[in-house]
Amino acid sequence: MNTSEIPEIRVESVGDEVTFHLPPRPLGRLRLAGLLPIGFSAVWFGTLSNTLLPQFRRLANHPQPHDYFIGIFLLGFVLAGCVPAGLGLIMLFGRCRIRWRDGRLMISERVGPFGWPRRMPGGTIRKFMVVGGGVPGAGDRPLPGAFGSVAALLASFESGLPRTVATGYPRPWLEAIARDLSARAGIDQSAVPPPVEVYHAPDAELSAEALEKPAGSPVLMQQGNQGIVLDVPPGGLWKGSQGIFFFAVFWCLIVGMITVGLAREGKFELKSLPVFGVFWLVGLGMLAAAINLGRRRFTFTTGPGQLTVVRSGPFGTKQFEFKRGDITEISVGRSNVEQNHRPVLELQVKLVDGKKAGLLAGRDPEELRWIATMLRRSLDLAAPAQAAPAGLAGWLAGRTVSRQTAGPAGNILGLVIFALVAAGFFWNIYSHTRSRTQHRSQAPPSGANSFLTNLPISTDPTLVFNAFGPSGAYQTSHFWFVGQAAHAEWFVPTLSGNLSEILLALLPNPPQMNPGTATIFLTDDHRGFPGQNLESFAVSASEAKDLIKLESVRQPALQAGVKYWLCARSEGGWHWYFNNQNIVHGAARQTGPDEWASAGDFCYVPAFSIRVSTNQSPPTLAQPASGDNADSSSNH
């Protein structure tokens, strides 16, 4: 069958170039399986939403430098959450486009108007393989139901494992495309057209003998009287560690930038050490493992009746000895590790008790075949039996047997655990960027922000706002950190009058060697943030022994029901301690000269109180001022 005989496939051919536009995959009810990864992505983003949304809001409203680093780190998790959704959409609505252009194979997946390419090697194509499709063959037992019509087209290049060209389409379609591509590849490669094989198990070639060392292989072999010595040098930090080294460096850089950023702002506390210690241990552990994988050397020695393997690296040397009678097979097989959805190959020494030793994972497949052949011949071992051709069932079995320890259930469980750990990590990061002082909670119940917990009986001076508990109590372990960037809290007076006194629980940071002078200033409200300065106060560290009491000199007029802001900054580092009455509302932080941004909603209010001089009678506790609750809603 030719592609021109398949009306579902649209073919565009111009000269030596051809493009095959395949329709959405005819999977029937099987396509509904795409809802599973989409649902997983929904759960993923739902779990991280409480961390993602506040961080993105901070990035949009005068962010601090460390907010950019956290945003970049969070972007990686956003992209990771999009991958399962993309796979699900491909199963539901995806279609494949195969293009042969300038002697290269180019593949892209498309969902509606969107598409993304899948990179293919640029080397010579050795053969095309069509796997599955439900047509019985020698030893073939097609899977029942919708799986029985699913086939895959693969291309085998000069090096590496076969790459998937298209999957999820009927076998006759893919076989026709393979024959067309084979003819074009033979012309462009100036060689015999690569053969098209059907139901060939791609793992069979791994067991074939390789008598010649691959060109460019750094492995050295010495022939002795009683055996051979193979010296396998390190694979390098990138190839030898399978990319773990650069991931570990990226991990440590991100954690380091967050740690340094918090430390420079004085927001790093002893309570955060266990959390950051865990992530530093993970990063440094991955870095050490990557260095060990990339710099270790193997030496294989065959002697009278045994095989000796010496593995040496930066963290020590280890020796393995295998008796000739205990070895049943030396071959190349799939490890339990995958890279870019492809299993990583390794040299496997299989023993009579069913155990196997995996060595040299990630080395060049041709090099591994040659090493396995030389060891077998030196130990007089028979070559492993080649796998018989099989259909889709055999192909799937070949791909899953070596991955039983990390099957779909294990992968999903691992992703769920990873998502939970990531959510916990960024929740702690979010808390630390607010000095672990911003306590997010549900909206307080009605009346919780009335701030009428300790109204005095006298009318002069009048307590018009109070966040202290009885007898001036407040929390002593949780606080806002007050540095050079000012922190601001709003309040609404319950009576009109002239400012008389400000009392606040603001103290120098004890570990700070030079806390400097603190500046407290009162402002009006401008579009929900601090506005014009009404009065300022300066307090030195020597004067702050307990609660700071500030007596107004300018005595600006304050109006009942109008929002005002009490702001504080310091030259070094001061702590503004929380109230102990569970009073919460929104706060603001300074991001530049006359520039402010939200510090979060439903934050614990630091302890302070405001008194005014007035001739009016104060309200009673039974009838609190309505302007406070109205202003609380306007803040959001």
Q: Are 433 and 268 in contact (CB under 8 A)?
A: no
> What's the pLDDT at 343?
67
> What's the pLDDT at 27?
78
- Identity of residue 326: D
DSSP class of residue 88? Answer: H
Q: Are 465 and 610 in contact (CB under 8 A)?
A: yes
Give dist(CA 262, CA 66) in Å, integer: 8
Q: What is the 3-state secondary structure (H, E, C) of 291-310?
A: HHHHHCEEEEEEECCEEEEE
Q: Are 556 and 547 in contact (CB under 8 A)?
A: no
Peptide bond into 461 cis (omega under 30): yes
Q: Are 549 and 503 in contact (CB under 8 A)?
A: yes
Helix (H, G, I), strand (E, B) or coil at 196: strand
Residue with tokens 């015999």: 192
pTM exceeds 0.95: no
Q: What is the mean pLDDT of each run of 10 residues along the chain (636 residues)?
A: 82 86 83 83 76 70 69 80 85 88 86 82 82 49 48 81 83 88 79 73 57 82 84 82 79 78 64 77 87 88 88 88 88 73 78 86 84 88 58 36 37 47 49 38 33 38 86 87 90 92 89 78 93 93 86 93 94 88 87 84 87 66 40 36
Within 8-96, where are the H helices? Answer: 35-60, 65-93
Nearby residues of 487 by Cβ (< 8 Å), 6 or more positions away: 480, 481, 567, 568, 569, 576, 587, 588, 589, 590, 599
Of residues 616, 608, 479, 512, the one with CA closest to residue 561: 616
CATH number for the segment(s) 462-634: 2.60.120
Give dist(CA 562, CA 52) in Å, integer: 33
| Percent helix, percent strand, percent coil in the chain, to nearest 5 | 35, 30, 35
> What's the pLDDT at 315?
86
Give dist(CA 89, CA 112) in Å, integer: 10
Q: Are 588 and 564 in contact (CB under 8 A)?
A: no
> What's the pLDDT at 404?
33
Q: Are 338 and 345 in contact (CB under 8 A)?
A: no
**Count of alpha carbons within 13 angstroms of residue 208, beta-carbon side:** 11
Within the chain, all domains assigned CATH 2.60.120 are found at 462-634
Residue with tokens 């005595």: 555
Nearby residues of 278 by Cβ (< 8 Å), 6 or more positions away: none
Of residues 425, 427, 424, 426, the one with CA closest to residue 439: 427
Residue 367: CB atoms within 10 Å: 22
Residue 511, both tokens: 């570990």
Q: What is the DSSP string of 114-164?
A: EEEEE----S-EEEEEEEESS---TT--PPSGGGGG-EEEEEEESSSS-EE
> What's the pLDDT at 142?
40
